[in-house]
Each structure stands twice: as C-alpha cells, then as structure tokens.
Amino acid sequence: RVAYVNGRYVRHAEAGVSIDDRAFLFSDGIYEVIEIYQGALIDERGHLDRLARSARELRLAPPLGEAALRFVMRELVARNRVQFGHVYLQITRGAARREHTFPPAGTPTTLVAFARSHDPDAGEAKARKGVNAITVPDIRWKRPDIKTVSLLPNVLAKQQAKEAGAYEAWLVNADGFVTEGASSNAWIVDKTGALRTHPGDSSILSGITRARILEIARAKGIPVIERAFTVAETHEAAEAFISGATTLVMPIVRLDGRPIGQTSSECAAPGPVSLGLRACF
C-alpha cells in the first residue's frame, strides 16, 4: 500500500510524521473520508467544499490547492488499485515546538492521505440484516460541525457501542434530542412515512451523504422534516437508519436493545424506506 505524506508517495507501513506534529500534540487538524465506488470518488465536490470550510473555521492553510488534492486522491486510488473503499485525507497545522498558540507564520501544514479497500459485499450483507445502536450523552465540544480529528468523545461512544454489541452510538444532547451518530448522521422514518433528521446546524457534522439523501428523498417525493427527534420518538418510529461516507445508508433495527418499528422483538428487520434509499444512493 502506498500513502501520500507532504509531497511524497511512500509505503504505507513506513509513512510517518513528526512527533511535534500539531495533530499528534493537540488534535489540531481536519480530515475527510471519501467513499470510492467502482473506482470513482463519490461526492468529491461536497467533501472538498467541506474540507475548505473546516480549514477556514480553524484558520488552517491547506498546503495544496484543490486541483492538486484531486490529483493526489486519484493517484492513491490508482496506485493502490482501489475499486471499493475510501480515501482518507488529513491536514494538520504542521510540526512546531509545543506551544498552544499557532506555530510561527510560514510553518508548513502537514498533508497525509491514504486509500483503503473494503469488501462491498460485507456492507451489503450488514445492511440487509440491519445493525444495532445504543444511546449515549453527547459530551462533545460546541463545534462538531467542523470535521476535526479531535474525536475522543466519538471514540469513547463507539467503543461503548461495540462493547454493547452495537454498531453505532447515537449521541443525545442535554434536552433529550438525538444529534447524530458517533461517526454518522441519524435518521428516523416516522409513522406517516416522513424522514426526520437533525437540522444541519453547528451541533452536528452535516454529512455529505446526508445532503445526498435529502436530495434523493425529495426526488422520490418522500416528505423530509429537518427537525431534531428524541429517543422516545425513535422508539415510536417506523424505521431508523444512519448515513455516512463509509456506511452509506445503514438500517438501525434496535436502539438500546429495543426493536424499531416492530411489535415482536424476534423480527427486528430493516424497513423499505431505508433499504430503498440505500439502493438509490
């Protein structure tokens, strides 16, 4: 496997950055994950726009322009022969003597990127069965709309989910509303067939996949309500699912052990709206 580090293509196993790197010391960096489907970068435009926004919000200057970034990502897909998988791209505030304040002007930012293959059939098999989720308090900082590598609450939530036999953790804010998943956006289909998801404000990472699903839903004539929902509303919903670049649309069939949209606990199964949206996506 070949990775890209600050202008060079290097063997993944030997790729590295300085121990003075700001991302290592302070989580001072941003990232994107872009799905590769049949060798193509999915929604590249949206991901690059969000990367540029994250950079602006943190006053980070990307070391490469957009055309060069696009080129590097294509090189990684080609050199690693990725058909299905993702490209990971990270930009940090560079390596400098450890001071909380920004490094001296002119310190180059760090750019790391790599590509990874995954088995598309495994994702499909998982989606046909659906996955479980648990709920945990949303203890993140107040700017989760910026896609930073500062992901400790997400890491802890996801680990808690794994240990509970679940695939995702839904983050619940102090008012009892589900904001999003630890690494995905959260959705329900209510009993009237309408889609509900948290508004794309500063309390969630507004997903590129989320934006695409909103488009698909509108094109299919599915009513969409961008309004936060509670855990109780999820238990009363017809369906629930998550969205993200690597998960695409993934049905949630149990939340905190309780089946979604079913009366019998033995037959928790994905619903038609979730599976239809996945197929369309």
Residues that bind ligand PDD (CB under 6 A): 33, 154, 180, 183-185, 205, 207-210, 243-246
Run of H or E residues at 155? helix 152-163
The residue annotated as part of the active site, out of 126, 147, 158, 162, is 147
Q: Pairing mode, if any, of strands 8-11 and 2-5?
A: antiparallel
147 is catalytic: yes
Report the residue number whose CB is nearest to ligand PDD.
207
User: CB of 217: closest distance to ligand PDD in angstroms?
Assistant: 15
User: CB of 61: closest distance to ligand PDD in angstroms?
Assistant: 23
Place of tokens 């590097």: 72
Compute the distance between CA of residue 200 and CA of residue 211 in angstroms, rounded to an integer.
9
User: CB of 107: closest distance to ligand PDD in angstroms?
Assistant: 26
Q: Which tokens sit at 141?
A: 């900082």
Compute the distance between CA of residue 192 and CA of residue 57 in angstroms, rounded to an integer.
39
Compute the distance between CA of residue 13 and CA of residue 105 in angstroms, rounded to an integer.
31
**Which residue number, 22 or 198, has a Cβ lying nearer to ligand PDD?**
198
**Is there a contact between 103 and 93 (Cβ–Cβ < 8 Å)?**
yes
User: CB of 262: closest distance to ligand PDD in angstroms?
Assistant: 26
**Which residue number, 24 or 102, has a Cβ lying nearer to ligand PDD?**
24
**Which residue number, 80 or 154, has a Cβ lying nearer to ligand PDD?**
154
Compute the distance between CA of residue 273 and CA of residue 77 in angstroms, rounded to an integer.
32
**Which residue number, 46 or 259, has a Cβ lying nearer to ligand PDD?**
46
Active site residues: 147
